[in-house]
Amino acid sequence: MRFRFLRLGALTCLAALLFAQQQLTVEKLTSFIDSSIKNHIPDREVAAYLATARMSERLTPSMVEDMQGKGAGPKTLAALQKLAELSSSLAPAAPKAPKPVYVEPPPPSREEQDRVIREITENALSYSKSLPDFICLQVTRRSIDLHYQRGGQGSFSPVDRILERLTYFDQKEKYEPISMNDKSLYGKSWESMGGSFSRGEFGTALNEIFTPESKAEFGWDHWGNLRNKLCYVFRYRIEQSRSKETISYNNTMQVTAGYTGLIYVQKGPNKILRITIDPKPPADFPVQDIHQVIDYNDVDIAGEPYLLPFASNVQMRDGLQMSRNEIEFRSYHKYSAGATITFDDVDSPLPDDQKTEQKPDQPKTAAPKPPPKQ
């Protein structure tokens, strides 16, 4: 009974806000009905509050049918039909303004594109040498879809969560497993854990794209808005004959694949904020549909900012099984003998607005918060 009391209290507050002036627009009424359905408010309670409401504009039978299709209960529908009858002589609701159509601005000049590519190439080739020796915590959440349908979003189920101590020393990465699902992995190698892994998110990925030996082909793709920053987005391609992108399977098969991808460069400082990697292994190789996204940001190490990965997302398919690794890099510290790392929030995944690209003229906005569940 205590929870029922709290739920009624929540509905009372919601209704008081909506019906304070007893004059409802169709938009406000629709929002109230949607919220009541989502939060499982009892049908009779919703109907009781609707009995006290009045419309400020016409509610049509087709609108009532739409609310019925969303899941409004029979008592709520009867109250809505009564509102529709009483409002039949009112003016109709003003039509909603059409959503603005995004029109991408023209690409930068060829001279500007060439200048930006030259600058990020120079920075990438000196990137590894510019990094200090450091340690950080790598958190990997692995999930699988056992019946993946190509072209779909997938239906992934969590498998495990792995914590590793990552040491970057003398321009080389070293991985030391800490735990898997909170069980200690002390003394074990990451190769012994099985499943899918990716490595080289630090200097390796950038160096292999921009090194002259790769002879990468660059081209303009689009303007992007990543983490509310305007970005040049370039596509690139590296042929298999010049690639160093290796893919292993069960420690018995390995191929070197050509690959393509995108490079997101923040306009102004011309910093790389994201790269994507799409290897193209032979059609008969067991692992297919590989896609990786590496996100970079400024990280403070010993009082100095360094551009470092903060997240990586990797998907790869073996037959009908699709694996997904969501990786975060946390708790960066300057390396020293005996240095330790702490992790208090390893179960907090990154918010969606850190992962999603937006249109350049659509800055990040906070999503409307639904009424709390009771």
**Residues 19, 56 contacting (CB under 8 angstroms):** no
12 has a pLDDT exceeding 70: no
59 has a pLDDT exceeding 80: yes
pLDDT of residue 226: 93
pLDDT of residue 346: 53
Q: Residue 129 belongs to what H/E stretch?
A: helix 127-130
The tens digit of pLDDT for each residue in 134-191 reads 889 989 999 999 888 777 777 889 988 989 888 888 878 888 888 888 888 777 766 6
pLDDT of residue 167: 86
- Tokens matching residue 226: 């990543």
Tell the residue number behind the tokens 């008081």, with chain if given. 16
pLDDT of residue 340: 64
**Residues 107, 113 contacting (CB under 8 angstroms):** yes
Q: Residue 114 belongs to what H/E stretch?
A: helix 110-125
Segment 23-43 shows an average pLDDT of 86
Calculate the alpha carbon distances from 49 to 14, 81, 360 in Å.
10, 14, 43
Segment 236-245 shows an average pLDDT of 94
97 has a pLDDT exceeding 80: no
Q: How far apart are CA 359 and CA 230, in angstroms?
A: 9
Q: Residue 28 belongs to what H/E stretch?
A: helix 26-38
Neighbours of 57 (CB within 10 A): 16
Using 50, 70 and 90 to split pLDDT, how confident is the model at 232? Answer: very high
Residue 97: beta bridge partners? none
| Lowest-confidence segment of 228-237, 264-273, 336-345 by average pLDDT | 336-345
19 has a pLDDT exceeding 50: no
Neighbours of 61 (CB within 10 A): 12
Q: Residue 292 belongs to what H/E stretch?
A: strand 287-301
Instruction: Tell me the helices (H) and strands (E) count for the chain, helix number first.
Output: 8, 14
- Residue 56 is which amino acid? S
Using 50, 70 and 90 to split pLDDT, how confident is the model at 7? Answer: very low
**Residues 188, 176 contacting (CB under 8 angstroms):** no
pLDDT of residue 116: 97
pLDDT of residue 75: 92
Question: What rounded mean pLDDT belongs to the chain?
Answer: 82
Using 50, 70 and 90 to split pLDDT, how confident is the model at 355? Answer: low
Q: How far apart are CA 297 and CA 300, in angstroms?
A: 10
3-state SS class at 264: strand
Residue (of 2, 90, 80, 93) closest to 36 by Cα position: 80
Neighbours of 76 (CB within 10 A): 26
Higher model confidence: residue 181 or residue 367?
Answer: 181
Residue (of 27, 41, 93) closest to 14 by Cα position: 41
The tens digit of pLDDT for each residue in 325-335 reads 999 998 898 87
CA 291 to chain centre: 14
Q: How many CA atoms lie within 13 A of 145 on its CB side?
A: 16
The tens digit of pLDDT for each residue in 210-224 reads 999 999 999 999 999
pLDDT of residue 98: 80
